[in-house]
Amino acid sequence: MKPFVNQELLSALKSANSVFICTHIMPDGDAVGSLLASGLILESMGKRVVMACSDDVPRACRGLPSAERIVKPEGIDPGQFDTALAVDAADARRTGSCALIYDQIPVRLQVDHHGTNPRYAMHNEVDDDAPAAGVVIARMAEALGVKLTRDIAVCLYAAISTDTGNFCFSGVSAETFEIMQRLMETGMDIVAPARQLHKMKDREYLGLLARALESMEFVLDGTVTLTRITQQDYIDCHARPEHCDGIVNYGLYIPGIRLTVFMDAHLPEKTKFSIRSIPPLSAQNIARALGGGGHLAAGGCTLEMPWEPALEKMLAEMEKELKRQG
């Protein structure tokens, strides 16, 4: 396992008495798993912990150990904490209303794995080579001398398996499976969380998936797929934005496709894009050019404009990336 680099961050955690831990808005499995694992790790060290997120925990993650303890930040007094820790949040704005609490706490820390992260905390541990924030949290537990429990292991499994596409995405390494070995050695039962996280799908999700696949277009000489969801799709499927999670990946599961973009066009003056790429093509480059961020193989951005002009900008950046890589 790679070492946890920032010794000042580790010292700050060791010295902390009460810690406010938060993650990004619209949390996925890496966000929730990293949040819960961090909280359980610090509690095992005798720290008082509050775990918060601006948005609801997604259904697939609600069965994770201590998931019911994740609260909304509204009404939390920042004065009761000496330390704040943000996990899997590429920038401070991504923590949503949690930022109002985080910014008022004397010692501010963060653990992340996004290459676009501006190192916004006082002490930062950011490794953009790590395939999931959960990998960096596992290193943190090792560096703090915390023995992994089954509950911590399940949360780390949720984090790591989610952001690696259940160990199918680029970035997966020998270290990833070394960590998984350690998680399994706790006696963790992988079957139930794996089924809940990766196999079980809400009816609303399946409805949106059907609409997205029906909308699929092949563009830029047939090397790029485009899928979209509209406001009417949400209404017809009785769905919410959280039910779109993971739909983007289907556009890349086709021979010859190098890039895919999923467009959430349900708001009249705002268009959200999720991008996936086959390396060396960089989803992160495309997203960053449009004000977003992400990783080599996965990125996203939101443009404050209707979907037609937004899509023109997106396709132009995708074409540039295709030409850049040849």
Distance CA 51, CA 85 (A): 10
Asked if 237 and 214 touch (Cβ cutoff 8 Å), the reply is no
Domains along the sequence of the chain with CATH:
7-198 (3.90.1640.10), 203-325 (3.10.310.30)
Contact partners, residue 117, CB within 8 Å, separation at least 6: 90, 91, 110, 124, 126, 128, 293
Q: Model confidence over 213-250: pLDDT tens digits?
A: 999 999 999 999 999 999 999 999 999 988 998 899 99
Question: Dihedral, CA atoms, 304, 133, 198, 28, nearest 10 degrees?
Answer: -30
pLDDT at 259 exceeding the cut of 90: yes
CA nearest to 185, candidates 159, 147, 217, 213: 147
Beta bridge partners of 303: 271
State the average pLDDT over residues 261-290: 94
Give the confidence band of 170 by pLDDT, cuts at 50, 70, 90. Answer: confident
Q: What is the pTM of this model?
A: 0.90
Give the confidence band of 311 by pLDDT, cuts at 50, 70, 90. Answer: very high
Asked if 170 and 297 touch (Cβ cutoff 8 Å), the reply is yes
Residue 220: its pLDDT value, please? Answer: 95
pLDDT at 326 exceeding the cut of 80: no
Distance CA 36, CA 42 (A): 10
Q: How far is CA 12 from CA 106, 124, 169, 267, in A?
A: 11, 11, 33, 42
Q: Model confidence over 68-126: pLDDT tens digits?
A: 999 999 999 999 999 999 999 999 999 999 999 999 999 999 999 998 899 999 999 99
**What is the number of alpha carbons within 13 Å of residue 295 lying toward its C-beta?**
23
Give the confidence band of 295 by pLDDT, cuts at 50, 70, 90. Answer: confident
